[in-house]
């Protein structure tokens, strides 16, 4: 077949199915989907929709088209990963949703005409000859060689897809938007602000806080018994720990079915590496060069802190018997032959509240004072800003972008400028939930410093409004039709979703997981 690329063959059935339900995803957990009644699907189907089967071959074809579509878009996602992302559910959803809509169309007497069907078939370039005209012989050949369907089956299926689309069109035709709704949308979207803020966090000042004196500590403990106990309970894992070692390893891997000879060779290799280390070579260097453990090799064999119960008994017994700085003999486990070096040892801990209450109280006092200092610094900055200074000038970022935007820990206040946002939510871009700040920003009419320090998380924020946009009559007239279309589209989607949910709730959809797994592989 000249000029036909199999990877680009996407049937109108698939295209229309996407058009019908591309943005609608209702997984097996949604109402009415994957019912748990006594009804079952036939072995050759992936689902039944009110008794109508969706054949496994249709699901397999839709799945293959989905994978080809992604590849054509430059996204070569492996099928196993597509399964992990739940893409098989999306493919099944489209088939189920389209069948539900086709059945609803039938009940409502919606039936595409022969002329509509003919027009769609003739428009499909897969069926065109070199001159760009519909070719009946080519139509038959493409259906036979690529769609694997007879013309009768293909046209019957296409008619159902068209009926489903017409049903959606009927539902969406009910998406009427009033002038009041359009104006409300404009009032909401047109009312915007942009701010610059700086955060003052207790962690920025913790090192400046001196430890309390014994008298201060004793006085504070008298009135904060509950806080000390709560902290102890929340951090009990710190005070009650099993014995631990900080260890490094060199691993010579063994296959699960390794022979006695292979085991002997692995042990001999480990012995040779041990002699290199005993001869003065650094353990970490040997691990980087020779270890076969991909998880620790690049770190010089560093395994971090290890508890006895996380290792096989033979390896744990050998390693935990050592002192810091010592190395085991070669030890065989199911993973291979190990050499382990102990860098540090930490005995088991079971500290009672009475033993650590001074330590906890000191921590809490320093946290409290660091928070007080953060607030005091924020108040000082606010006074300076209200006096006419600019936050960006007072707290310029150390680098081109503030640490917050680089997803790094802030060590000092830095000015961060937000994108524009509306008053609808309670969050500020880059900052997160800050309802009081949002309310204050929209209470002003133009650029200015907000006249209070705002709590945000564990710290405090000082902010300036740098842009303030308010809806006006001229702006509304300019965007009226655009906003009306947006509102109508949003309502159309909402109506379609509600309609499909009702169809599922009032119908019966049963899925066949085994059939799906046979196509996409078990998850």
Give the range among 47-51, 305-309, 363-367, 486-490 with minimum mean pLDDT: 486-490
- Is it the case that residue 35 has pLDDT exceeding 70? no
Q: Are 175 and 491 in contact (CB under 8 A)?
A: yes
Q: Residue 430: is it exposed, middle or buried by C-beta count within 10 angstroms (0-12/13-18/19+)?
A: middle
Q: How confident is the model at residue 182, as a pLDDT?
A: 74
Q: How confident is the model at residue 318, as a pLDDT?
A: 96
CATH 3.10.50.40, applies to 243-347: yes
pLDDT 10s digits, 381-429: 999 999 999 999 999 998 888 989 888 889 999 999 999 898 878 899 9
- Is it the case that residue 242 has pLDDT exceeding 60? yes
pLDDT 10s digits, 113-127: 999 999 999 999 989
pLDDT 10s digits, 451-481: 999 999 889 999 999 999 877 666 666 777 7
CA contacts within 13 A on the Cβ side of 101: 31
Q: How confident is the model at residue 523, as a pLDDT?
A: 55
The CATH code for residues 6-174+499-520 is 1.10.4030
What are the tokens at 255? Answer: 């296959």
pLDDT bracket for residue 15 (50, 70, 90): very low
Q: How confident is the model at residue 324, as a pLDDT?
A: 95
DSSP type of residue 323: P
DSSP string, 462-515: EEEEEEEE---HHHHHHHHHHHHHHHHHHHHHHHHHHHHHHHHHHS-EEE-HHH
d(CA 206, CA 204): 6
Q: How confident is the model at residue 30, as a pLDDT?
A: 33
- Average pLDDT over the chain reads 86
Mean pLDDT on 221-233: 94
Sign of CA dihedral 12, 15, 20, 25: positive
Q: How confident is the model at residue 7, as a pLDDT?
A: 37
- Is it the case that residue 13 has pLDDT exceeding 60? no
- If you search the block for the tokens 């650094």, which residue do you land on? 282
Percent of the chain at pLDDT exceeding 90: 60
Domain boundaries, the chain: 6-174+499-520, 192-208+364-469, 243-347
DSSP type of residue 406: G
Q: How confident is the model at residue 75, as a pLDDT?
A: 62
Q: At what angle do helices 353-386 and 225-234 cross, to 10 degrees?
A: 100
């Amino acid at each position: 077949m000249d000029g036909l690329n199999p990877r680009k063959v996407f049937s109108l059935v698939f295209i229309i199915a996407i058009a019908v339900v591309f943005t609608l995803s209702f997984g097996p957990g949604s109402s009415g989907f994957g019912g748990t009644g006594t009804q079952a699907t036939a072995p050759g189907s992936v689902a039944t929709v009110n008794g109508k089967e969706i054949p496994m071959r249709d699901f397999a074809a839709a799945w293959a088209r989905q994978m080809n579509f992604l590849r054509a878009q430059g996204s070569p996602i492996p099928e196993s990963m597509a399964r992990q992302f739940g893409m098989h559910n999306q493919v099944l959803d489209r088939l189920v949703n389209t069948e539900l809509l086709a059945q609803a169309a039938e009940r409502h007497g919606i039936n595409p005409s022969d002329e509509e069907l003919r027009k769609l078939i003739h428009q499909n370039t897969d069926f065109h000859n070199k001159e760009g005209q519909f070719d009946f012989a080519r139509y038959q050949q493409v259906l036979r060689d690529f769609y694997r369907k007879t013309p009768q089956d293909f046209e019957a299926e296409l008619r159902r897809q068209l009926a489903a689309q017409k049903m959606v069109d009927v539902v969406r035709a009910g998406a009427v938007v009033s002038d009041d709704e359009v104006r409300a949308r404009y009032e909401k979207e047109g009312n915007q602000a942009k701010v610059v803020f700086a955060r003052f966090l207790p962690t920025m000042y913790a090192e400046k806080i001196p430890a309390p004196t014994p008298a201060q500590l004793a006085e504070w403990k008298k009135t904060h018994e509950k806080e000390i106990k709560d902290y102890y309970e929340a951090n009990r894992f710190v005070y009650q720990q099993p014995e631990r070692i900080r260890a490094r390893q060199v691993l010579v891997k063994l296959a699960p079915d390794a022979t006695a000879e292979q085991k002997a060779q692995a042990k001999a290799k480990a012995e040779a590496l041990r002699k290199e280390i005993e001869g003065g070579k650094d353990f970490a260097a040997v691990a980087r060069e020779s270890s076969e453990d991909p998880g620790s090799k690049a770190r010089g064999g560093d395994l971090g802190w290890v508890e006895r119960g996380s290792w096989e008994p033979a390896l744990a017994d050998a390693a935990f018997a050592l002192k810091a700085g010592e190395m085991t003999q070669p030890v065989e486990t199911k993973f291979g032959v190990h050499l382990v070096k102990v860098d540090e040892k930490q005995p088991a801990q079971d500290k009672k509240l009475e033993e650590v209450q001074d330590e906890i109280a000191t921590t809490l006092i320093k946290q409290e004072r660091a928070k007080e200092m953060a607030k005091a610094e924020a108040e000082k900055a606010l006074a300076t800003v209200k006096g006419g200074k600019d936050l960006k000038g007072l707290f310029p970022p150390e680098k081109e972008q503030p640490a917050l935007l680089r997803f790094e820990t802030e060590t000092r206040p830095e000015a961060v400028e937000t994108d524009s946002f509306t008053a609808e939510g309670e969050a500020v871009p880059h900052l997160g939930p800050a309802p009081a700040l949002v309310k204050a920003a929209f209470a002003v009419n133009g650029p200015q410093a907000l006249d209070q320090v705002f709590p945000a998380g564990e710290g405090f924020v000082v902010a300036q409004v740098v842009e303030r946009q308010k809806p006006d009559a001229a702006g509304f007239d300019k965007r009226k039709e655009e906003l009306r279309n947006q509102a109508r589209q949003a309502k159309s989607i909402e109506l379609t979703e509600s309609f499909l949910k009702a169809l599922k709730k009032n119908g019966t959809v049963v899925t066949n997981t085994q059939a799906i797994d046979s196509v996409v592989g078990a998850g």
